[in-house]
Structure 1
C-alpha cells in the first residue's frame, strides 16, 4: 500500500518536532499537524515564558540587595505591558524558528487539529484525510480545573501570560511545582500572593528537607502559604457583597469579608474571558473568606487525548487519559507510537526530546532504542530554586541503608547583607557501595548546579569521587565536595 507519508506527527511541541526532523533526516516523508502554535507547551505557554517571568521577578529583590552593598538603587515599578510586549516578540521569534527548522527538513506542516481515524489514517479539521505508515502522537498535556461551582472564574497557568493587567492580589490553589513557581514569580513582581494547598507540605514527591526549606523561604518572602487548606466555594465578589464592590486589594473589604455572615444568593454573571472575571470571593476549608483579583488553579495537568479517536482504533488509554506505551514508545496498535507528556512518564521537555530521538532510532534507523528514564535531573524554579537528581532521602532509605551528608547555611552573598536566606546541599549515599544515590540542592542557581551534579550521579560516582574533587572557593556548590561526615544514617 502506498502512503501519503512515512510518518505523520500529531503535535508540534519539542518532542514531536524533534522526532519529525530526525525522521526526515533519514529520507522519510514526514508531516506535522499542530492545532495551536508551533513549539507546544514548553515554548509558547510553559518553560520558556515562565523562566522569562522568573528572571523578571528577581530584579526587585536585587535592587534591594544592591543597596546593602553600597549602591544607590531603587527597583521602581514593574511594567507588565512592556514585559508582555517583549515576551510576545520572543515567543513569536521562537515559533518561527521551529517552523523554519521543519521547513528546512522538508517536513510538511498542517496548522490544523488532527484526529486518528485508523491505524494508518489521520483526519484533519479541514476535512482532509491522509495516510501514513507510522503515526506518532505527541500532543502533550493541559492544565485542569477542579470540579467546583464557578471554577471558570479562575485562570490556569496557560492564561497567566495573556493577562491584560497584573493583579494586585491572587490566590493560588495547589502545591506542586507550577503553583510554587508562580507564587514566587508573582510575589517577586509585587503581587500579594496567597497559596492554598490541601497537603501537609508543598512539592509532594520531592525531598522532605528540601521542600521544607523552600516553604520556609516562600513565607519569609511574604507569600501567605496555607497548608492543609483547600477551596470550598468561589463566586464573583459582587455576588457575596451588599453594596458597591471595592477593589479586591482593598484591606477594608478583605477584613469585612473574613467575618462576613452567610453568603448572599448568587446572581448570574455574564460571559467572561480567563482573567477578566473581576474580583473573586473565595471561602477556604480553614473558614477564611477573602476577595482576590485573580484565582489561579495549579491543580494538575492531564494528557491531551480527548476526542482524538485513539481508543476507537485500539490504542489503550489509562484512566488518567495517558496513552499506554511499551519501552520503545509503541502503543497497542503497532503503527502508532506516542511520546512526551501525553504518555505521562516523565513530564519534562528534555525527556520528550530524548523519546523523540529514540523513536527515530527505533522506527527509521532499525536500531531499537528505549529512552532512558533513569536518574533524570530536574529543577523547580522557586526562589530559591530546588535542584534534584536521583533518589530523595525518603525513597533511598526504603531501599537500603544510607548515609546522609547534608549542610544548610546562609550563603556569603545574602549573609553579608544581613538576609536570613538559607541554602541546602545534600547527598544521599549507599552505605554498602558508597555510591551517590541522590543529590538535592536548594539555592539560587540550583538548576544550573544540579545539571552538573547530574553527570556525576548518572556516571555512578561514589562519595569518595566527590571527596577527591577539589573545591571551587568561595562558592555555594563547594559544599558538595567538602562534607566529610554524615549528618545521619537511615
Structure 2
C-alpha cells in the first residue's frame, strides 16, 4: 500500500546530526526530505568546530617560529595576514558544504534550501510557500549564540561573527569563561590580538576538573592573556574619544552591519552587530577601558524559536530545548529530535551518534537508546585540555578514590626555553580499581584523550594501564608510569 505522505521522513536541519540521519535512512530505502535555512554542515562545519580548529592551527605557528631558533633554524617572525587565511578558510568551508550536499544528493535525499516549521504533527510548512507531509519528523536545528541582556549588547559580536571579520582588531574583550571564550582567547592572542577576558565566576571552564582548569588559566595568563575572574561588565557604549593609546584610527573593524543571531532566524549565519568603532567598557572591578571589539561568549541556546513545536504538542524545557526520551522521541509519537536542540551533550560526534541511534530505532527494528556515558572531549586552548569521565571533585562525592597526577615541563618546549607545564591525571576507584576519569592538559591533548578514551570506555583499571609499556620519550607515557597516588579522597 502506497504511503499517503510526501516523505517517510522529513529532517529539519542540515547539520552533522541531521545529515547523517537523513542519508543513512535514505540508504535503507526511506523516502527522505530535508530542509536547511542556512548552509549545509551546520554549526560544526560552517561556524564552529572546523573553522575554529583551523584558526587554532594558524595561531600556533607564532610559537613554532619562536621555538625554531632554539633548534638551529633561522626563521623570521612576520605579521599574520588575516585576509590570506580567511580566503583559504572560506574556500575550505565552501568545499565542505558541497561535500555535505553531495552526500545527501547521492543518497537520494530531497533537499529544500529554506526555513521549515510545523503546521501539524505530519505537515511541514516551508518559507518558499510549499507544504510537505511526512510520516516521521526529525528536528535537528542545533543551537545559536546569544548576547546577554545588557544595554548596547548589539555593539558586541558573538562566535558566529568571528569568522567574517574583514580584519582582526588590535584589542578585544571576551566576556565569558566557557570553552568557547577560552579557546578564542588563546586563538586571538596567538594571532597577535591584545586579549582581555572577563568571567563572572571564580574560575574558568566551570564543570571541568579543578586542577586541570586551573593549569589552563595559569597558562593563559603566562602567555599574556589578561584574564580576570569574578568580573563582569557594568555597561558598554561607543567610545567618543580617541585618546586611548591602543586604539588607533584603523582599529575599528570593517565587518558588515546587520542582524544578530539571537532572535530572528536562529541557526543562520550571524552578522556582526551595529558597531561603528571602539567600545568603552565599565567593569565590576572598577575603571573603564576601551576595546576595539567586545566578544560575548556567554552561552548558546537551542534553535527552537518560531517552529510551531509547542503548538503541535512538542514539549520544551526551561532553556527552550526539546525534551526527548532515551530514544530521542518527543511527546509527539512521530516527532524526534537530536543534537544541540535537545541540549543533552552538545558535541558534533554525539549528534551523529544520536542520528544513527534514531535510524536504528525507527527504521531497522533495533531500538537503540543513546549512550551519553564516558564521552571524551577536548578544549582547544593553548595548551589543550582532553577529558573523559569524572572530575576529581565529582568522583570524590561518589566514592573513595585515588588520584594520580604528573605535572612537568615537556621536552620540546623546555629545550626551547619555555616554562610551559603539562598535566596527566587519573581518577581511580579505590574499590574496583576502575579508572573513573582521565584529564590531560598538554599540546595535542585532544589526540591523546581519544585513544585513552577507548580503554576507559572499556572499563580499564589502573592495573591495566600499569601493565601497558610506555612509549618513550613522549608526554603521554606518564599515563602508564604513575605508580604512587598523589592523594586520596
What band does the TM-score fall into relative to the shorter chain?
A: over 0.9
1:274 equivalent among 265, 272, 275: 272
What's the secondary structure of 1:414's corresponding residue?
helix
Tell me, yes or no, if the aligned pair for 2:425 and 2:439 is still in contact at 8 Å: yes
Contact kept? 1:248, 1:292, Cα under 8 Å: no
SS at match of 1:155: coil
Deviation at 1:247, TM superposition (A): 6.7
Residue 345 (str. 1) matches residue 374 (str. 2) = no
Whole-Å separation in 1 of the counterparts to 2:76 and 2:386: 31
Q: Which residue of 2 aligns with 1:409?
A: 408
List alignment gaps of at least 5 residues for structure 2.
252-256, 260-270
Q: Equivalent residue of 2:477, what SS?
A: helix
The yes-or-no answer on 1:185 pairing with 2:187 is yes
Partner of 2:476: 477
Matches of 2:303 and 2:35, distance apart in 1: 14
CA distance in 2, matches of 1:25, 1:115: 25
State whether residues 407 and 421 of structure 2, in contact with CA within 8 Å, keep that contact through their aligned partners in structure 1.
yes
Deviations 1:282-315 (A, max 9, x none): 0101013101110000000000001000000000
Partner of 1:105: 107
When the two structures are superposed, what TM-score results if normalisation uses the length of structure 2?
0.94
What's the secondary structure of 1:131's corresponding residue? strand
Matched positions, count: 468
Equivalent position of 1:434 in the other structure: 433
If the length of structure 1 is used for normalisation, what is the TM-score?
0.94
Residues 247 and 279, structure 1, Cα contact 8 Å, conserved in 2: no
- Quick one: which of 77, 80, 90 aligns to 2:79? 77
Deviation at 1:70, TM superposition (A): 1.8
Residue 250 of structure 1: CA displacement?
Answer: 3.8
Q: Trace 1:352-431 onto structure 2 (pairs within 5 A).
A: 352-431=351-430
Cα drift, residue 75 of structure 1: 2.0
1:318 aligns with 317
Q: Is the 8 A contact 1:169 1:248 kept in 2?
A: no
- Give the distance between the partners of 1:203 and 1:248, measured in 2 at CA: 32
Partner Cα separation in structure 2 for residue 47 and residue 20 of structure 1: 21
Aligned pairs for 1:179-328 within 5 A: 179-238=181-240, 241=241, 245-246=242-243, 249-250=246-247, 274=272, 276-328=275-327
Equivalent position to 1:36, from 35, 38, 42 = 38
Cα distance, 1:271 vs structure 2: 7.7
Aligned to 1:13: 15
Does structure 2 retain, via aligned residues, the 8 Å contact 1:281–1:290?
A: yes
Name the structure 2 match of 1:125. 127
8 Å CA contact retained: 1:248, 1:280: no
Structure 2 CA distance for aligned equivalents of residues 31 and 76 of structure 1 = 49
* Inter-partner Cα distance in structure 1 for 2:61 and 2:309: 47
Aligned partner of residue 193 in structure 1, secondary structure: strand
* Shift, 1:246, TM fit: 4.9
RMSD of the TM alignment (CA)?
1.4
Please say if residues 247 and 292 of structure 2, whose CA atoms lie closer than 8 Å, have aligned partners that are also in contact: no
Contact 1:154 1:297 survives alignment (8 Å):
yes
Q: What do residues 77-134 of structure 1 show as CA deviations (whole Å, max 9, x unaligned)?
A: 1000000100000000000000000000000010000001111110000111110000
Distance in 2 of aligned mates of 1:277 and 1:428:
50
Which whole-Å CA distance do the structure 1 matches of 2:67 and 2:420 have between them?
12
In the TM superposition, what whole-angstrom CA distance separates every residue of 1:25-82 from its partner, at most 9, and x where no partner exists? 1101001100000010000000000000000000011100111222111221100000
* Distance in 2 of aligned mates of 1:277 and 1:79: 23
Q: Separation in 2 of the partners of 1:326 and 1:385?
A: 34
Partner Cα distance (1:321, 1:152) in 2: 22
1:468 aligns with 2:470: no
Quote the offset at 1:366 in angstroms: 1.1
- 1:248/1:279 contact within 8 Å kept: no
CA distance in 2, matches of 1:292, 1:167: 9
Q: Give, in whole Å, the separation in 2 of the partners of 1:111 and 1:248.
A: 47
Show structure 1 runs of 5+ residues with no match. Answer: 255-269
2:60 paired with 1:63:
no
Corresponding residue SS for 1:426: strand
Q: Deviations over 1:325-373 (max 9, x none)?
A: 0000000000100000000000000000000000000001111001110
Aligned to 2:488: 489
Contact 1:157/1:296, CA 8 A, preserved across alignment: yes
Whether the 8 Å contact between 2:170 and 2:247 is mirrored in structure 1 is: no
1:248–1:16 Cα change, 3 Å: farther
The answer as to whether partners of 1:422 and 1:443 remain within 8 angstroms in 2 is yes
Answer whether contact 1:278 1:293 (CA < 8 A) is retained. Answer: yes
